[in-house]
Amino acid sequence: MQLKKQIKAVENNNTQIGYLNAKITALREPILIGVVCVVILIQVEFLGGQLAGIMISLLFFYRALSGLMIFQGSYNNYLSVSGSLENIIDFENELKVNKESNGNKDFKQFKDSIIVKNVDFGYDETDGILKNLNLEIPKNKTIAFVGESGSGKTTLVNLVGGLLKPKKGEIYVDGVSFEELDLNAYQSRIGYITQEPVIFNDSIFNNVTLWATPTPENIKRYEEALQQASLHQFIATLSKKGETMLGNNGINLSGGQKQRISIARELYKNIDILILDEATSALDSETEKEIQTNIDKIKGDYTILIIAHRLSTIKNADKVYMMDKGEIIDEGCFNDLFESSSHFRKIVELQEL
């Protein structure tokens, strides 16, 4: 937004200077000739000067005057460039102010827990998107977030993933605050899976490894990832195995299979934390079952944060957080919540689980 405004300001500035330049260039010659004629007239008529002497002095005068005009042109050029420069300097300063901070405490592997402590968050000037959140995410547990659209689920997982910064409060990973943590190293241990995974029109191997060289070591990692994502059986039925082409955006795959490809892709990267953000509740029951199986298969081996709209997919989660308007209003395992939260029970019953 800011950048657009700056570009607009530079454009306006340049247009005005352009007009000024054009006018000065067009008027330069007539003005000069006018001035010369007036000077000759004054010299000859009123001061009795000699025409030859006048002509010579005028020659010098003319040269000096055109030098002055050129100076005017250069000054206009300077104005147009200096305006753009000022904008670039402002823009650079703004980038510096908003630069992502990256602490120097290295992060090799997730060992224990993530703790969110008294966290408040708002986008730009708006406050109250998340209000005083407190939660703990122990290693290798499956944690689910449910709640109405706009209740802040995606915002919360983005905070935990270090993509957003809390306005108040702290987030700790294995006891180290985000302020001190090398966030790039931490983020390289997180896999992110959306419900609309990107599938490239290429082989399964390339889709999972993102075009890794098929060295024995990479092939081993690829096969482990397939195993963990429950893809190996499906691939065994294909005549070309891992070399099978997946078609444009995975046209040859079901929704659940696409998700498994993207799970395998994340697991291949050697991660600790998996974030699954289900974008919609519009799933057919077959896909819904597949997704539940996919999650249950990797449950316990990874720390999984799952945002679910279809609650069947999180029946086996270790803990479910129910969110409403930026607050956690209930928490517990699926069955406990079903007993204790009328709100949760209502959604479950609406979905006829």
Q: Judged by CB under 6 A, how many residues of this single chain contact ligand ATP?
A: 10
Least CB distance to Mg ion at residue 278 (A): 8
Strands 142-147 and 303-307: parallel
The verdict on 187 binding Mg ion (CB under 5 A) reads no
Is residue 62 helix, strand or coil?
Answer: helix
Q: What SS3 class is residue 210? A: coil
Shortest spacing between CB 163 and ligand ATP, in angstroms = 11
What is the distance between the alpha carbons of residues 345 and 279, in angstroms, rounded to a whole number? 21
Cβ contact 119:171 at 8 Å? yes
Q: Which residue has 């005549």 as its token pair?
A: 239
Judge contact between 332 and 344, C-beta under 8 A.
no
Task: Determine which residue in the list 2, 98, 149, 233 makes contact with ligand ATP, applying CB under 6 A.
Answer: 149
- Of the two residues 154 and 206, which places its CB atom closer to Mg ion in the complex? 154
Question: For ligand ATP, which residue of 19, 71, 78, 123 counts as binding (CB under 6 A)?
Answer: 123
Listed in sequence order, the residues at least 6 apart from 112 whose beta carbon sits closer than 8 Å to its beta carbon are 138, 139, 174, 175
What does 78 bind: Mg ion, ligand ATP, none (CB cut-off 5 to 8 Å by kind)?
none
Encoded one letter per residue, x for contact with ligand ATP by CB under 6 A and - for no contact, window 229-268 reads: ----------------------------------------
| Neighbour-count burial of 89, counting CB atoms closer than 10 A to its CB (0-12 exposed, 13-18 middle, 19+ buried) | exposed
With CB cut-offs between 5 and 8 Å by kind, which of Mg ion, ligand ATP, none does residue 152 bind? ligand ATP
Quick check: 78 binds ligand ATP (CB under 6 A)? no
158 belongs to the binding site for Mg ion (CB under 5 A): no
Residues 154-173 that bind ligand ATP (CB under 6 A): 154-155
Give kind and range of the element (H or E) at residue 135.
strand 130-138
Binding site for ligand ATP (CB under 6 A): 123, 129, 147, 149-155
Binding site for Mg ion (CB under 5 A): 154
